[in-house]
Structure 1
């Protein structure tokens, strides 16, 4: 390893530049040929962790290498793994909440009792969560250490909290979960603290008897799947009802079907020490962790008693994170539009949330009904209006190929979402429906009432969707991380977006959506950038999308300015955290390779682009008669906005105009 690193450093010193992939590969292959044996001795992914380990724990040896800061930066660039992970300007960390019942029963949704509703245990983020007992502290610290070993800057972190419907969890658990996310970020400055705290937490779970819980659930899930595959419809319905809205009696049935160690009927354990009566009676999959004992001995019930925190404790950690080495610059939660209310949005702001992922799936009432969605378009519109007026970024989940849809109806449905003033989301996950065994959609596939689109139908549809997506919207993903072996039929290609891009390259129209235009690893001088402004109307605001555009229509940064309609604010004044005459900055984002805090960026970051966007947004709001402007700042960006003239003001930061 050391010899290989010396060879790489020698080439870097000669060229004064990071090595191209082929040049690095030549050095690694040459070193492997020098080492006898059938196994490859050196691999790229091992080199940077080895370098970091020597530097951090064998400093005298590292000093003999004579690596200057400039050379180290080039070395990290050369050895970085999966550079796209931080190409959007932040390090994204995805975490999952613990399995929990869902009040919906959508036709296509998987029911893996080991995971939160709709997730499968072999999805990458799910595997990481399961290995860490779904604990937020353990998930964040483990992921950040991995990203660091891969060569990524991790001091600006966007936290994405997945797990079905966030608001369905007890509030005490919600506060504790966020408390642990911020504690993890704050502790990352000291590896010793992280190791000590992580081992303490792991010991807590083991002492509660949860160490082998995953094996028990895996056995039960396998048994349940066998019944479903055999066509046992009644068993499938039992599984669905247990997961969706189980009762005390249901839990006894689950217990008896989960193990040969049949026991007497048991009551479901409380889902949380602070759960209300409804939540306490609901079935919680984690009751299975201690199948030989009584519900009162349940390890997860015991864990729930210490999985609590107060808002004052959370807010203390948030204040600490404002100046921490690893700061939260965005916090996303996943929810359903039918549970979006002013009260819940206010709570989300106190928790530190800045973006909402909402499961829309379709705006066709006929399709929604056929797929048992249980949410109407009117309720979805209310959710978007509330999210916008509260300043949240809106991230819609949209699905093609649902039961009853055709490529033509899907195209019209998508166009409605991106063009209708009630919606116009900021970001979209555009998924094809995947057929997963155990879902009710399987019966429709077998009787011929549903079929997956062919690859060409799907690619053409997604290409059309891309072309009608406006320049203020970002399509973040086109496929779920569902393993191919879990998909019974239909698209199993993980490079679906690449296929869509290939199709688009054959068409004369240009794509305007954000992700396709991100500057990523490119660079553009400030004098090459032009400021473009795109204004559009929604049902309750006037929006202005300000973007820095580089040659080739690449986007280097943007700001979302929202100017609420006075009539809407007046009609809903009792429920809103803003007053008439207040505009809102809903997002500021500068692209390019992540630049460390207080460091100059080699691409677009830390060159004053964000500050100039803010000043222009203030001018526009002032010109339109607004007297103040709010910003929905993340915890880790509060200090930045104070420098731009904003003062803390309740759920937001505000600047007088």
Structure 2
């Protein structure tokens, strides 16, 4: 029996349940047998081999214990980022690097970009290799949040976009079969899979395996239909684009592809700052894009850049307050990217001439602390710093763990960040089930102590109702739902009919823009005693949203902007597919 198998047997025998206990066990075995301490990925490989040979049974607690980088699946889904090829960028922004062969604003040494380069920007291979890396690291990969990066998605040729997204669906659809192919297993047996430092850029040089005979002739619609019942389902698709590229026609195209969220490169809400930085769009276009997207049910993620040329500390603070005080904005999600200077950008020349000076680390930290304290509880801060390697940053903050530093500094503050990410549950040991000691670092919470919290706010001419299941005593969020009563133009009243919606299924309909249960990802149709998923929280929120739309607003129809991989879930709740939305009469 190998050392790795012995360690797995000892984990089972001694009921090892914490990372510290696991580390001690590995050190003891290593010292005793005079071998290198095995990584968790190597132990996972041995564990899966033992299951295959009938030496042990699957154990959720062991898989959770050995999981690498648990944060990858702690928000209920696994994120797979894929990069499009460079087709040129319509923007001429001061701060964006322009590296040959790279989509503008991306650097070749960023982790996601390196994966794309190694896979020659092939979407099929990018998805497949990322899923393999996640699976080999112990993460369930049933629910995939696909994020398509590479700059302005709306500027890419329609034919390329359709092909790119179709290949992503095909990769997810065929992954289960492909991963069992002998050539695939052989390729994955190298050093890259057993070394954690390669986790973020895992790839296979050969891409011949896994192609299906009809993959070229298969339509996007067929690939989507197959994904509805596939083992690995794409539950949401995010694209990034500019405000001036959003219009009714573009939104219809995004829905055809299965898009559910849009990341808007807003950067600033001041026209003079946008003009100075040569953004090529204005604030009114941001406001218009936000309204159109919300009335189509999309979740909206603003990219905002403090410390742009023309901005000041005072104006930056004011900008973040204005975004949530003004109903014309009100994004659901934020990515905050403090401006940095990199080579191959016009800003680099400004900095060299002394025309631009970034904030000091201390000033930036104080600014971000102030910003985070003012974020509403219905907003998620997804990122606080761009993933640019420190060696590429010529001027500006090189601190990559700003979020953790801020959390440490504000832990004892009465006023601290209450964004969704800061409050979402990670792991939960539910007292609804028989208690077990197999949830490392789990937080003990009584499911029956959860309550539905409702928050109302006005946004883009409509009403937003944010429903969430929370443990209010511990300020922990378990599940959420975003219900939109559309802008007045698309709602009938006693004295005037509604304007015709540009999407037929949404005419006179309330729209559910998001339903999400947090905590460790649980495979489709499974339940876990240490996770909040699949215990009915989402269904209860949907039922409450239906009641609000019907009883309070007298709306007779409700629609959900559902990802392709979640359509079956809504069918079980009485919804049917129409115009790419799941729709139900109330």
TM-score (norm 1): 0.78
Is 1:34 the counterpart of 2:42 in the alignment?
A: no
Q: 2: CA distance between counterparts of 1:518 and 1:36?
A: 42
Deviation at 1:615, TM superposition (A): 0.4
1:111 to 76, 98, 105: 98
Say which SS state the counterpart of residue 138 (structure 2) adopts.
Answer: coil
2:255 to 349, 362, 374: 349
Decide whether aligned partners of structure 1 residues 548 and 41 sit closer, same or farther in structure 2, where only a CA change above 3 A counts. closer
The residue that corresponds to 1:398 in the other structure is 304
1:527 to 436, 439, 448: 448
Decide whether aligned partners of structure 1 residues 606 and 574 sit closer, same or farther in structure 2, where only a CA change above 3 A counts. closer
Contact 1:398/1:431, CA 8 A, preserved across alignment: yes
Q: 2: CA distance between counterparts of 1:436 and 1:49?
A: 40
The residue that corresponds to 1:562 in the other structure is 484
The residue that corresponds to 1:334 in the other structure is 240
The residue that corresponds to 2:463 in the other structure is 542
Deviation at 1:448, TM superposition (A): 2.4
Decide whether aligned partners of structure 1 residues 42 and 379 sit closer, same or farther in structure 2, where only a CA change above 3 A counts. same
1:596 to 523, 526, 534: 523
Contact 2:505/2:581, CA 8 A, preserved across alignment: no
Say which SS state the counterpart of residue 278 (structure 2) adopts.
Answer: coil
Decide whether aligned partners of structure 1 residues 192 and 604 sit closer, same or farther in structure 2, where only a CA change above 3 A counts. closer
Contact 1:547/1:555, CA 8 A, preserved across alignment: yes
The residue that corresponds to 2:57 in the other structure is 68
Deviation at 1:100, TM superposition (A): 1.8
Deviation at 1:368, TM superposition (A): 0.8
Q: 1: CA distance between counterparts of 2:357 and 2:241?
A: 28
Contact 1:31/1:42, CA 8 A, preserved across alignment: no
Show the 5 A alignment for 1:156-171.
Answer: 156-171=143-158
Decide whether aligned partners of structure 1 residues 448 and 194 sit closer, same or farther in structure 2, where only a CA change above 3 A counts. farther
2:169 to 167, 177, 182: 182
Is 1:47 the counterpart of 2:34 in the alignment?
A: no
Note the residue ranges of structure 2 that are not aligned, 5 or more in a row: 187-214, 430-444, 492-496
Larger helix share, 1 or 2: 1
Deviation readout 1:599-647 (Å, 9 max, x if unpaired): 1133210001000000000011112111100000110110000111111
Contact 1:98/1:116, CA 8 A, preserved across alignment: yes
Decide whether aligned partners of structure 1 residues 440 and 5 sit closer, same or farther in structure 2, where only a CA change above 3 A counts. same
Decide whether aligned partners of structure 1 residues 498 and 387 sit closer, same or farther in structure 2, where only a CA change above 3 A counts. same
Note the residue ranges of structure 1 that are not aligned, 5 or more in a row: 200-307
Deviation at 1:419, TM superposition (A): 2.2
1:369 to 250, 255, 275: 275
The residue that corresponds to 1:12 in the other structure is 12
Larger radius of gyration: 1
Decide whether aligned partners of structure 1 residues 98 and 195 sit closer, same or farther in structure 2, where only a CA change above 3 A counts. farther
Contact 2:372/2:416, CA 8 A, preserved across alignment: no
The residue that corresponds to 1:612 in the other structure is 540
Contact 2:78/2:141, CA 8 A, preserved across alignment: yes
Deviation at 1:35, TM superposition (A): 3.7
Contact 1:368/1:374, CA 8 A, preserved across alignment: yes
Measured on the aligned residues, the alpha-carbon RMSD in Å equals 2.1
Decide whether aligned partners of structure 1 residues 138 and 45 sit closer, same or farther in structure 2, where only a CA change above 3 A counts. same
Show the 5 A alignment for 1:128-207.
Answer: 128-191=115-178
Q: 1: CA distance between counterparts of 2:401 and 2:19?
A: 21
Deviation at 1:415, TM superposition (A): 1.3
Q: 2: CA distance between counterparts of 1:194 and 1:472?
A: 44
Q: 2: CA distance between counterparts of 1:114 and 1:49?
A: 37
Q: 2: CA distance between counterparts of 1:424 and 1:84?
A: 27
The residue that corresponds to 2:570 in the other structure is 641
Contact 2:290/2:460, CA 8 A, preserved across alignment: no
Contact 2:5/2:50, CA 8 A, preserved across alignment: no
Deviation at 1:489, TM superposition (A): 1.7
The residue that corresponds to 2:202 in the other structure is none
Show the 5 A alignment for 1:236-275.
Answer: none
Contact 2:450/2:470, CA 8 A, preserved across alignment: yes
Decide whether aligned partners of structure 1 residues 128 and 567 sit closer, same or farther in structure 2, where only a CA change above 3 A counts. same
Q: 2: CA distance between counterparts of 1:590 and 1:520?
A: 11
TM-score (norm 2): 0.88
Deviation readout 1:88-109 (Å, 9 max, x if unpaired): 0011111101112001110000
Kindly tell me the number of residue pairs found equivalent between the two proteins: 535
Decide whether aligned partners of structure 1 residues 578 and 43 sit closer, same or farther in structure 2, where only a CA change above 3 A counts. closer
Say which SS state the counterpart of residue 466 (structure 2) adopts.
Answer: strand
Deviation at 1:522, TM superposition (A): 3.0
Q: 1: CA distance between counterparts of 2:378 and 2:2?
A: 48
Say which SS state the counterpart of residue 457 (structure 2) adopts.
Answer: strand
Deviation at 1:447, TM superposition (A): 2.7
Deviation at 1:503, TM superposition (A): 2.6
Deviation readout 1:501-559 (Å, 9 max, x if unpaired): 12322532132211000011234332010100000011321000000001311100000
Contact 1:467/1:509, CA 8 A, preserved across alignment: yes
Is 1:474 the counterpart of 2:372 in the alignment?
A: no
